[in-house]
Amino acid sequence: MKIILAIDFSDNSINALDFAIALAGKREGEIILVHVIESVFDFASQAAVTLEHMHRDAETMMQNTLEKYQDSKLKFTTLIKEGTASISIVRIAKEVNATLIVMGTQGASGIKITLIGSTTINLIRESSIPVLVVPAESNASAISKVALALEFATHEEKFIDWVIDMSIRWERGLEFIHVQTAYDFEEEPGIKKLEDFIATHHPGLPMKIHTFYAKTPVEGLDQFLEENENVILVMCHAHKNLWDQVLNRSQTMQMVFHSKVPLLIMP
């Protein structure tokens, strides 16, 4: 498994590195630490001198970071680039055929657009591979399961397979979440379809489906997260209605997800 770790050497990005190490696998795992230098200067001479210092400082901090994990059996690679962070990270991920991008976020009061920042939002929108957003308060060692939020659409099957494979590799349990917003409370036909899909393609896989009744999908996810904090929540970026709700609600500075819950966005 090859993971891109976006690092700015803050405590948040080091916490995200702990997640990347936990998820990379004990063998054959590789983590590529990418630091992107973003700077704008009025004078070319000033830019040249400052960029030289920034590269030198970044190289020193990279080396210091790697020394802390020298006992790990994982393969570490480092890259220091100049440019726009989101564009550079997505491009590198494609070039090296990465499995996953991991990056940390600021803030202790949930995933909010002002705290996620434009870099993370742009990266999620531009990336063709999964992106794991790790809040500052999350703890890699406490994660016990992966929860996949579904809308029971046809395009979900390809990433259901991916998430199942990763949950097995990560040695974490897997659960499914469905939020039913209809008022008739009849069983969602997609649940039976999911059960048949798992039985056919992943026979013997333990399966647990949480169904929540709520006015909106986001409210249903909030209900699940009130009872489950030690989880990686998986959402599909193609779920336009749900993803738009997340961003719109975040803009009002209301809490969307608990601060300790990492969010894995599938493209």
Superfamily for domain range 143-261: HUPs (3.40.50.620)
3-state helix, strand, coil in the chain (%, to 5): 45, 20, 35
Sequence ranges of the chain with CATH classification 3.40.50.620: 2-134, 143-261
| pLDDT tens digit at each of 267 positions of the chain | 899 999 988 888 899 999 999 888 766 789 999 999 876 555 555 555 577 788 888 899 999 999 988 777 888 999 999 888 889 999 999 999 999 999 987 643 333 443 345 677 778 878 889 999 898 888 888 899 999 887 655 556 778 888 888 888 888 889 998 877 765 555 566 788 888 888 888 898 888 888 888 887 777 888 888 888 889 988 876 544 555 555 554 432 233 344 578 888 887
Half-sphere exposure (Cβ direction) of 204: Cα atoms closer than 13 Å: 1
Determine the Cα–Cα distance for residues 4 and 29; give it in Å rounded to an integer: 11
Task: Convert 187-224 to b/e letters by CB count within 10 Å (16 or more is b).
Answer: ebebbeebeebbeeebeeeeeeebebeeeebbebbbbb
Contact 164, 194 (CB under 8 A): no
First to last CA, the chain: 18
Task: Convert 165-179 to b/e letters by CB count within 10 Å (16 or more is b).
Answer: ebbeebebebbbbbb
Contact 124, 239 (CB under 8 A): no
pTM score, whole prediction = 0.83
Determine the Cα–Cα distance for residues 24 and 3; give it in Å rounded to an integer: 7
Class of domain 2-134: alpha beta
The burial class, CB within 10 Å (0-12 / 13-18 / 19+), for 126 is middle
Q: What are phi and psi of 164, to 5 degrees?
A: -60, -45
